[in-house]
C-alpha cells in the first residue's frame, strides 16, 4: 500500500491509468444525500426529459470525488496534496457511464519551502467512449531526496 517516492523520482510525461468505475443511479442518490444537492438535473427524471440532455446527470462533485478516489491506490508518505487547478467538467456523465482516469506528470517545479518541490499531475477523466468528461491539475508538494 505504501509506495514512497521523492520529488526527484517523479518523471516528466510519466503516465498511469486507473481501472474503470461505472457511475450508477445509486452513486447519484448517495451523493445527493451526502451533499444536500437535490437539483433536478440529478434527481428529477421527468424534468430532465424536458432538457437538452434528456436524462439525469451526475453531480460534478461526484465525478471529481470518484476520479480522485480512483487514483488513490498507494500512499506516498513523501508527498501531499497542495491543491487543484483548472478543474473543468467538459461533458455530462450519465447513469451507466463508466469512467477511467489518466494521470500525466506535466510539470516539476521548485517550491519556496526548502527541501520540497511541486509536482503537477494532469488528471484526465474519460467515459467509455474515450470522451473527456473532467480534467484538472493536481498539485503535489513532494519532499526532495537531496533535502
Alpha carbon distance 120, 49 (integer Å): 40
- Is residue 46 a contact residue for a copy of itself (CB under 8 A)? yes
- Is residue 6 a contact residue for a copy of itself (CB under 8 A)? no
- State CA 37 to chain mean position distance: 20
- Is residue 13 a contact residue for a copy of itself (CB under 8 A)? no
Only one residue has cell 461533458, namely 91
- Is residue 131 a contact residue for a copy of itself (CB under 8 A)? no
Selected from 5, 8, 65, 132, the binder of a copy of itself by CB under 8 A is: 65
Alpha carbon distance 4, 101 (integer Å): 21
Alpha carbon distance 141, 147 (integer Å): 13
Alpha carbon distance 134, 63 (integer Å): 8
Selected from 3, 4, 9, 24, the binder of a copy of itself by CB under 8 A is: 24
Which residues of this chain interact with a copy of itself, rule CB under 8 A? 1, 18-22, 24-27, 29-40, 43-47, 56, 59-62, 64-66, 68-70, 72-73, 75, 81-89, 96, 98, 128, 136
Amino acid at each position: 500500500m505504501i509506495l514512497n517516492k521523492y520529488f526527484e523520482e517523479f518523471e516528466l510525461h510519466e503516465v498511469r491509468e486507473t481501472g474503470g468505475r461505472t457511475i450508477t443511479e445509486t452513486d447519484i442518490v448517495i451523493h445527493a444525500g451526502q451533499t444536500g444537492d437535490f437539483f433536478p438535473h440529478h434527481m428529477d427524471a421527468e424534468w430532465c426529459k424536458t432538457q437538452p440532455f434528456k436524462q439525469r446527470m451526475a453531480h460534478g462533485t461526484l465525478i471529481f470525488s470518484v476520479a480522485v478516489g480512483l487514483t488513490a491506490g498507494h500512499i506516498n508518505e513523501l508527498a501531499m496534496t497542495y491543491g487543484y487547478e483548472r478543474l473543468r467538467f467538459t461533458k455530462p456523465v450519465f447513469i451507466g457511464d463508466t469512467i477511467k482516469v489518466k494521470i500525466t506528470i506535466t510539470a516539476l517545479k521548485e517550491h519556496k519551502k526548502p527541501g520540497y518541490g511541486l509536482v503537477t499531475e494532469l488528471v484526465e477523466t474519460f467515459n467509455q467512449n474515450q470522451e473527456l468528461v473532467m480534467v484538472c491539475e493536481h498539485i503535489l508538494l513532494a519532499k526532495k531526496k537531496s533535502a
